[in-house]
Amino acid sequence: MTYITTLLKTQSNNGKPKQQENLTEDLDEFLASLPKEKGWRTPNLFLFQGFWCQPKEIRAIISTQNHFKAQDSDLILATIPKSGTTWLKALTFAIVNRNKFSVQHNNHQHPLLTHNPHELVPFLEYKLYADCNRLPNLSLLPSPRLVAIHVPFEALPDSVKTSKCKIVYICRNPFDTFVSIWHYLDKIRPKSLGPLPFEEAFDMYCRGVIGFGPYWDHMLGYWRESLETPNKVLFLRYEDMKADICDQLKKLAEFLGFPFTDEEAKEGIIEDISTLCSFQNMKDLQVNKKGKGAISNYENKDLFRKGEIGDWVNYFTPSMFERLSNVMEEKLGGSGLTFRVC
């Protein structure tokens, strides 16, 4: 699969709107107008369009909002970081492309065996529109175009909201999400910034100061949209996926427009996809043990830690559990959005 590399090499800088030019030329002045807090892996995070992000992300998000034109056939994966993004990308790619790439055990040529899922399902803001001076030629993406994004629903490009494209959203219980994001960012945090103590990071997390956060607002945006337009937004929970992956895969495939046939079910295709995309299988692949660059220039292995439910109990004190429980009740109470935490 080389189409991602190809389309990035054939970018042009034509048609850059005034808003984007101003932001590129006067970034410091623009950032000075935004509320800011200490960052997790950058010196500062800025409150932009109601959520926290770093300077490079702001430019890339504006470029995405200005230029990405969703097609009705597009499939967009939206997630909070470290909530099952890599897994969802792998599963979705395998489902959509199973007629092109067999998922049965005897196929050793499947792209997921030699490529990290982030290479096969590119992020809009981290990959395709990461360079604000160049625009990707998205016509080179195979149809249906399969892309991903981390921004809240409210910050999606207008065309995503108004077109008939479909959005799949996955989130994880906030306890495990915090532990996972802290471990990941601790690995990629520049040494020049020093360590970010667990307790300090937890305080920032509870206050909502984290990239693309507050996470409760992020989840609620997609949750409410999934209730209002269930044909457009599919809301998945990481814990439900772990509890019954085959049932969830059937739901996902049906929503995407690639339902499993009775014959496929009898042949074990659903189980084959589950095995191919399993946490342990992906973690053990050479591309994920030794490769790098699937996300920025970071090691692919850092994307895989435990993938377990309930690991937070090994880190939280009783007072931390109480505080985050209170935050969840305050922010999510009455919404109908609940989580199993162990």
Name the H helices within the chain. 3-9, 18-25, 27-32, 55-67, 85-96, 117-120, 158-162, 174-188, 198-206, 215-228, 238-243, 245-256, 262-267, 269-276, 279-284, 286-290, 318-332
CA angle 91, 124, 17 (to 5 degrees): 160
Instruction: Determine contact, residues 118/86, Cβ cutoff 8 Å.
Output: yes
N- to C-terminal Cα separation, the chain = 38
Residue of 209, 182, 264 lying closest to 217 (CA atoms):
209
Tell me if residue 150 is catalytic: yes
Instruction: Determine contact, residues 126/37, Cβ cutoff 8 Å.
Output: no
Copy the structure tokens of residue 67.
């230029």
Copy the structure tokens of residue 9.
């090499």
Interatomic CA distance for residues 6 and 11, integer angstroms = 9
Which of 110, 115, 118, 150 is catalytic? The answer is 150
Contacts of 321 (CB under 8 A, 6+ apart): 175
Catalytic site residues? 150
